[in-house]
C-alpha cells in the first residue's frame, strides 16, 4: 500500500510534484515582478512555463522561467507600460468628468468602461502570445485581437476563471485576505496553469505554422 502511495508514477505523487512546481513558479513570478516594470516580462515567463507544463514539455522549470523572462523582457515591458498609460488615462478622465454635465459624463464613463474591457481582453492573449510565439510588436497586438474575437467562447471561459477571484476580493474583508494569501503562495501560477489548458487548445490551431504566424488569416 505505502509502496503504491510513494510510487513516483502514481497520480498522487504526480499531483504533489505539480503542486510544488506551481508554488516555486509563483515565487519566481513574484520575485521577478518586484521591480514593477518587469511585471509584463515576468507574466510572459510564467505563461511560457505553464503552457509547456500542460504539454508536459517544461524540462528544467527554473531555468526555463529565467530564459523566457530574459527573452520576453523587451516586449513584456512595452505592453505593460502601454497598458499602464491607457489605464492611467482612463482613471484621470473619470476623475475629471465630475464637473461635466450628467449626459456627457455618463457617455465618457461608458467609453472608459468599454476601453477597460477591451484592455483586459487583450491582456488575456497578449502575454501568452509573447510567451509562446516569436513575432513583431504589431503582429502581437493584431493576433491577440483576432484570436480573442475568433475564439470568443474560449475567451469567455478565460474570463469566467476570474469570477472566484472577484468573489473573494469583494465578498468580505476575510475573503480578501484569504485571496491575498493564496496569491502569495500559489495563486498567480495556478491561474496561469488553469488558463493554459484553454490557451493550448486555442494556440494548437496556429502552432503548425508558428514560423509564419505573423501572416495567419484568422478571419477565414
Tens digits of residue pLDDT in 44-90? 999 999 999 999 887 789 999 999 999 999 999 999 998 888 888 87
Domain assignment present for residue 60? The answer is: yes
Domain assignment present for residue 46? The answer is: yes
Q: How many domains is the chain built from? A: 1
Domain with 89, as residue range(s), is 2-215
Q: With CA atoms as reference, report the closest residue to 125 among 115, 138, 140.
A: 140
Alpha carbon distance 73, 67 (integer Å): 10
Q: Residue 4's pLDDT is what?
A: 52
Written as nine digits, the cell of 115 is: 476601453
Q: Residue 206's pLDDT is what?
A: 82
Domain assignment present for residue 47? The answer is: yes
Domain assignment present for residue 162? The answer is: yes
Domain assignment present for residue 220? The answer is: no
- Rounded to two decimals, the pTM is 0.85
**3-state secondary structure at position 107:** helix
C-alpha atoms less than 13 angstroms from C-alpha of 84 in its C-beta half-sphere: 11
Domain assignment present for residue 147? The answer is: yes
**Would you give the DSSP letter of residue 184?**
I
pLDDT digits 0-9 by tens, 160-184:
999 999 999 999 999 999 999 999 9
Domain assignment present for residue 114? The answer is: yes
Amino acid at each position: 500500500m505505502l509502496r503504491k502511495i510513494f510510487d513516483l508514477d502514481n497520480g498522487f505523487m504526480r499531483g504533489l510534484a505539480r503542486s510544488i512546481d506551481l508554488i516555486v513558479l509563483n515565487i519566481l513570478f513574484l520575485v521577478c515582478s518586484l521591480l514593477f516594470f518587469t511585471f509584463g516580462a515576468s507574466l510572459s515567463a510564467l505563461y511560457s512555463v505553464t503552457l509547456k507544463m500542460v504539454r508536459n514539455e517544461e524540462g528544467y522549470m527554473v531555468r526555463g522561467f529565467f530564459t523566457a523572462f530574459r527573452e520576453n523582457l523587451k516586449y513584456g515591458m512595452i505592453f505593460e507600460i502601454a497598458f499602464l498609460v491607457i489605464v492611467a488615462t482612463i482613471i484621470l478622465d473619470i476623475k475629471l468628468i465630475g464637473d461635466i454635465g450628467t449626459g456627457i459624463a455618463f457617455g465618457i464613463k461608458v467609453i472608459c468602461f468599454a476601453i477597460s474591457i477591451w484592455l483586459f481582453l487583450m491582456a488575456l492573449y497578449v502575454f501568452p502570445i509573447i510567451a509562446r510565439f516569436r513575432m513583431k510588436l504589431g503582429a502581437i497586438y493584431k493576433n491577440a485581437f483576432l484570436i480573442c474575437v475568433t475564439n470568443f467562447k474560449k475567451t469567455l471561459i478565460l474570463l469566467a476563471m476570474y469570477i472566484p477571484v472577484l468573489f473573494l476580493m469583494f465578498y468580505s474583508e476575510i475573503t480578501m485576505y484569504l485571496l491575498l494569501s493564496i496569491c502569495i503562495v500559489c495563486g498567480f501560477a495556478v491561474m496561469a496553469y488553469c488558463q493554459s489548458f484553454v490557451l493550448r487548445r486555442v494556440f494548437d490551431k496556429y502552432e503548425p505554422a508558428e514560423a509564419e504566424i505573423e501572416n495567419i488569416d484568422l478571419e477565414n
